[in-house]
Amino acid sequence: MHKICVSNSAGEERKVMINIRLALQVDDHETVAKKEHIEAIEAELDRMRNMAVHVYEEMIYMRRRADQQHATNASTRGRLLWVEVCMMFAVLLMGLWQIRYLRNYFKVKKLI
């Protein structure tokens, strides 16, 4: 945004015309662009490029972390499956042992 202030010290009305040209419309850029303007723009472009590189590196890091977490979740699910299978086998074995033990106990006590 640009602001332009025009004041008139004389008492009579005057017309003011302002021609504003964009950088694309200017024929001779060296007359318009001064060295301090170009250096400021270059510094801003460097800052923006560094920010873009940082964002890109952060994105790659996050993608790598997501892949590692996915691999960890997959291996954990596989281990938990085996633990659950072993626990089910142990529960089944203990249930069968209890049935056999109680059957023998009731036969000895002559309740069956």
pLDDT in tens, 7-42: 878 778 888 888 776 655 555 556 555 666 677 788
Q: Which residues contact 21 (CB under 8 A, 6 or more apart)?
A: 32
Question: Is residue 27 one of the residues assigned to a domain?
Answer: no
Report the phi/psi class of residue 110: left, alpha or beta, with left for phi > 0 and alpha for psi in -120 to 50.
left
Q: Please, which pLDDT band fits residue 5 given cuts at 50, 70 and 90?
A: confident
Question: Is residue 101 one of the residues assigned to a domain?
Answer: yes
Boundaries of domain holding 67 = 32-108
Asked if 48 contacts 40 with a C-beta cutoff of 8 angstroms, the reply is no
Question: Is residue 55 one of the residues assigned to a domain?
Answer: yes
Structurally, the chain folds into a number of domains equal to 1
